[in-house]
Amino acid sequence: MNSLTPCARQNNTTIRDRLASVAEGLEDSPIMARFVRELIARLSLIIAVYEATAPDECEMHEQRDLSDLVLAGDADAAAALMDRHLAGIEQRLILEPNESRQTELKASLGLS
């Protein structure tokens, strides 16, 4: 699949936990909280399957900074940082069909 080191995988887990706390902060809007949780799960799967290279340290800090901005209520700064962050992720994804990648996904989900 991708080339994440154990350290990077741990960092991704920590970031997912922080984003989950952002979703919990949306308790006044259960629809938005559910959307954020589902989005996190889907994006994590897409990135795990299609990311060509591991993110660099700057991008890991972007995720931490983004959750801080959201929790602080700074919507404009969070939106600008999210645009930059998603553009970086998009550049690392390989979205061409790949039978090997599909087989790996099926195996990791226990479907093969």
Distances in Å between the Cα of 67 and the Cα atoms of 15, 20, 35 are 8, 10, 16
The pLDDT value recorded for residue 36 is 78
In b/e form, how buried is each residue of 41-77, taking b as 16+ CB within 10 angstroms? eeeeeebbbbbeebbeeeebebbeebbebbeeeeeee
| Mean pLDDT along residues 41-66 | 77
| Mean pLDDT along residues 13-25 | 67
The pLDDT value recorded for residue 76 is 94
- Residue ranges covered by each domain of the chain: 6-108
Distance CA 15, CA 72 (A): 16
**94 three-state secondary structure:** coil
Q: Structure tokens of 26?
A: 């949306």
- The per-residue pLDDT for range 59-98, each reduced to its tens digit, is 778 878 888 888 888 989 999 998 888 888 888 888 777 7
Burial level of 19, CB count in 10 A (0-12/13-18/19+)? buried
Statement: residue 4 has pLDDT above 70: no
What is the average pLDDT value for the chain, to the nearest integer?
75
The pLDDT value recorded for residue 15 is 63
Statement: residue 6 has pLDDT above 60: no
The pLDDT value recorded for residue 53 is 72
